Structure 1
């Protein structure tokens, strides 16, 4: 391998190992629907303006059962502090169950929710922006 080839390889490896610059997405504020299409949430910045809150505002497609209706208009994401650009960490409250969660905005119109109960049982959900 020539010196020029070695220098090119080292430069390429250095570029690949650099963390990607944080992307700037549209505000997470708005109305979001869970991937199953059975619940919608109003997401807003709250607290000091960097925390994330999400309120269950609609149930349908079978989720509007008598056991789920008491959770309508309650916080699912309650003042989750921002831990990095496009990412928040806090407790998620889903139908009476709480789990430590990470909320990641992947694009202007996509959010991932990962919740872990007992730090062992984890589940990830996708939410998609609806409306303008």
Structure 2
């Protein structure tokens, strides 16, 4: 039988691991100018501040400017495999999607109402330019 102290230690360890996953310290690399790509999601549009970025850590700052909850997805080039996602973004709220990506073609999607295929755009990740 596990002791309450063991259970408490396991809980503390799990919380520590969760916290580590939430504190991203790597500086985002993108062509969005300030280190992040802004995404505006409305009921009929999914507008990104950049459609191309350098490989590495990307931060998509998704703002729901619509009237119903939305989701944002980054898919692989086939438009099926999910690279990253943020869900349940309520009207007026902003959430960040932080992903590590390699060079290649991707697809972004905002899903107003959290249904269907969403409003999709192409997105390109390039190799960083050497100085």
TM-score (norm 1): 0.36
Task: Indicate the structure whose relative CO is greater, using CA pairs within 8 Å and at least 6 residues apart.
Answer: 2
Between Structure 1 and Structure 2, the one with more strand by share is 1
Structure with higher Rg: it is 1
